Amino acid sequence: MIRINIILNRLLILLFCSSWMSASITVYNSVNNQEAELKILDSKASFISAKNLSEILTSRQPYINNDRKKMVLYFSDTRIKISSNTSYVLVDEKVYHMPVYAREKDGDIYLPTVPFFNILKKTVLPGLSYDPKKKRLDINVVDFNITNLEIDQKSNGTILTLYTQQRFDEGHISSFVHDNGWFYLTIQGGLVDTTRIKKVETRGVVAKVTAHQFTESAQLAFRLRSDIIGHEVFQSHDPKTIVITLRTPFDKRADRIRALRKRWQLNTVVLDAGHGGKDGGAVGKKGTREKDIVLDITKRLGLLLEKKTNINVVYTREEDVFIPLWKRTKIANENNGKMFVSIHCNSNPNRTAKGFETYLLSPGKSDDAIELAHRENAVIKMEEHSGQKYKELTGENLIMATMAQSMFMKESEDLAALIQEELSKRLDSPNRGVKQAGFVVLIGASMPNVLIETGFLSNPTEEARLKQAAYRQKIAEGIFYAIIKFRTLREKLLVEG
Ligand SMILES: [Zn+2]
């Protein structure tokens, strides 16, 4: 008997609990650390009270029109219009459809729970998650990593600046212009504040902006007023932004493109023999000095270029003299160099280390667009602005500079890869690949630039090889053919451009 009593008691408790639990949905709000009970219409919680929902989730009283059985809920700046006996919900005039009608009871509107929560999640509360089994609604803070957008119109293009909380891998940002006249930007791992983005004032070639949050990516879409002739996407780190330039045709466009092409033509190559004078560089066990080896390779390379091409060759040094790093950059820039090749020999305490490698001299791809633009202004000056100091970036400058920088990086990478490829065809030495390092030598150079470590003077075999004129000639030829291939690639691009 006692046992049965206990069982009965437990049953009663269970019944009591479940009926008590089914009277509401528990709302956990981690934004303000509060918990509330949301009124529901039936024990299955298929409908929720709109009035009560507004009390719990919004700070503003809803607008209620009892006669027309309509209600407006205010989620910060977003208005959500609902009415009973319809399946439609208007979020800032955008129509959402629910599979079930909303119901009216005692002057309140009851909304189909799951469909309405889904609409909230899509629009105003992306951090919302609902567990129908537990009748539990969680409101979490969503840390948007794409927080704002600015659109600026310049004379020959529109600049979109997207404010972010982090850097995105380059491969995670994709963009394209669709035939339907929209420009799409997709960011993998992006969490976009869609409400904020959609409110951005449109300008220039951008007629409309929308943003969509997908499970693993954020997409921004821009409806274009007219065709664009090109676009570029860049990231900067301070402030963290993604800058997109949408270029529109300008007057005398053909002239400018011609001028631009001329500017890009590979007509001057700057050859930089490392070290020199009091700076001997690395020294081999047999006394071979880096400064002598690299000067000889540089001269051999220069001779090939002068003999076999119409490329103008500029040397940072042709003698055994000391040239500070800053001066090397200056020489390169002042001579309108279109490529900078710095030639070196390697050294390592480990005498077995051997092989050749090519470094990208730029301090990385994450260059701030603004910073690089300042750097580029000296080189890329638009005619009508000449003589004017740029305190602020004009559209053209930003566009040209960003374009230039993206080309430098890509081109430096291409050139480095070609050099490694051509050297490995000719040298019986390990290909150590393309590497990146923040060499000071060319910070400030406005052209594709690489630094080649032709071999290890610390390795006895390589020292012996580097001492041979025939071996140095092979190195010079490898670099020469890489430059020729690079030029062909680049000219092809310019023609297609
Ligand atoms: Zn060196």
- The CA-based diameter of the chain, rounded to the nearest angstrom, is 112
* Ligand 1 center to 344 CA (angstroms): 4
* Residue 114 belongs to some domain of the structure: yes
* Ligand 1 center to 348 CA (angstroms): 12
> 371 in helix, strand or coil?
helix
* Ligand 1 center to 469 CA (angstroms): 19
* Residue 13 belongs to some domain of the structure: no
CA-based nearest residue to 259, from 400, 353, 164, 135: 400
> 300 in helix, strand or coil?
helix
> What does the block give as tokens for 496?
């297609």
More confident residue, 252 or 70: 70
* Ligand 1 center to 243 CA (angstroms): 36
Q: What per-residue confidence (pLDDT) applies to 3?
A: 52
* Residue 1 belongs to some domain of the structure: no
> 288 in helix, strand or coil?
coil
Q: What per-residue confidence (pLDDT) applies to 263?
A: 64
Q: Tokens 């507004």 belong to which residue?
A: 54
* Ligand 1 center to 454 CA (angstroms): 10
* Ligand 1 center to 139 CA (angstroms): 59
* Ligand 1 center to 374 CA (angstroms): 29
Residues 312, 269 contacting (CB under 8 angstroms)? yes
Range of the domain at 268: 253-496
Asked whether residue 332 falls in the same domain as residue 398, the answer is yes
pTM higher than the cut 0.85: no
* Ligand 1 center to 313 CA (angstroms): 21
Q: What per-residue confidence (pLDDT) applies to 457?
A: 96
* Ligand 1 center to 281 CA (angstroms): 5
* Residue 14 belongs to some domain of the structure: no
Residues 448, 337 contacting (CB under 8 angstroms)? no
* Ligand 1 center to 195 CA (angstroms): 54
Query: Going by C-beta distance under 8 Å and a sequence separation of 6 or more, which residues neighbour residue 402?
Result: 232, 234, 243, 245, 369, 372, 373
Contacts made by residues 298-301, CB under 8 angstroms, sequence distance 24+: 298/271, 298/272, 298/273, 298/343, 299/273, 300/472, 300/473, 300/475, 300/476, 301/271, 301/341, 301/343, 301/476, 301/479, 301/480
Residues 102, 112 contacting (CB under 8 angstroms)? yes
Average pLDDT over residues 147-157: 85
Q: What per-residue confidence (pLDDT) applies to 341?
A: 94
Which residues, chain by chain, have CB under 5 Å from ion ligand 1? Answer: 274, 281, 344
* Separation between Cα atoms, residue 386 and residue 303, nearest integer Å: 36
Query: Going by C-beta distance under 8 Å and a sequence separation of 6 or more, which residues neighbour residue 431?
Result: 355, 356, 357, 420, 423, 424
> What does the block give as tokens for 497?
């451009």
* Ligand 1 center to 19 CA (angstroms): 80
Mean pLDDT of the chain: 81
Q: What per-residue confidence (pLDDT) applies to 126?
A: 79
Residues 321, 252 contacting (CB under 8 angstroms)? no
For residue range 329-370, list pLDDT tens digits in order.
Answer: 778 878 888 899 999 999 998 999 999 999 875 443 333 333
* Ligand 1 center to 270 CA (angstroms): 17
* Ligand 1 center to 329 CA (angstroms): 16
* Ligand 1 center to 346 CA (angstroms): 6
* Separation between Cα atoms, residue 218 and residue 212, nearest integer Å: 6
**Which of 158-167, 233-242, 276-285, 299-308 has the lowest average pLDDT?**
233-242
**487 residue type, one letter:** R
**322 residue type, one letter:** F
Domain boundary among 186, 221, 247: 247
Average pLDDT over residues 378-395: 32
* Ligand 1 center to 347 CA (angstroms): 8
* Ligand 1 center to 169 CA (angstroms): 32
Asked whether residue 241 falls in the same domain as residue 113, the answer is no
* Residue 215 belongs to some domain of the structure: yes
Burial of 319 (0-12, 13-18, 19+ CB in 10 A): exposed
Q: What per-residue confidence (pLDDT) applies to 361?
A: 58
**Which of 73-82, 190-199, 326-335, 438-447 has the lowest average pLDDT?**
438-447
Asked whether residue 260 falls in the same domain as residue 353, the answer is yes
The kind and range of the H/E element at 63 are: strand 63-65
Domain boundary among 208, 224, 247: 247
* Ligand 1 center to 440 CA (angstroms): 12
Maximum mean pLDDT: which of 35-44, 162-171, 478-487? 478-487
Asked whether residue 50 falls in the same domain as residue 118, the answer is yes
* Ligand 1 center to 277 CA (angstroms): 13
* Ligand 1 center to 335 CA (angstroms): 23
Asked whether residue 331 falls in the same domain as residue 394, the answer is yes
Phi, psi (rounded to 5 degrees) for 71:
-145, 145
Residues 336, 312 contacting (CB under 8 angstroms)? no
* Ligand 1 center to 317 CA (angstroms): 14
Asked whether residue 301 falls in the same domain as residue 238, the answer is no
Residues 152, 162 contacting (CB under 8 angstroms)? no
Q: What per-residue confidence (pLDDT) applies to 276?
A: 92
Half-sphere exposure for 74 (CA within 13 Å, toward CB):
8
* Ligand 1 center to 266 CA (angstroms): 26
For residue range 402-436, list pLDDT tens digits in order.
Answer: 444 455 777 888 999 999 999 999 999 999 998 87
Q: What per-residue confidence (pLDDT) applies to 283?
A: 94
* Residue 211 belongs to some domain of the structure: yes
More confident residue, 128 or 288: 288
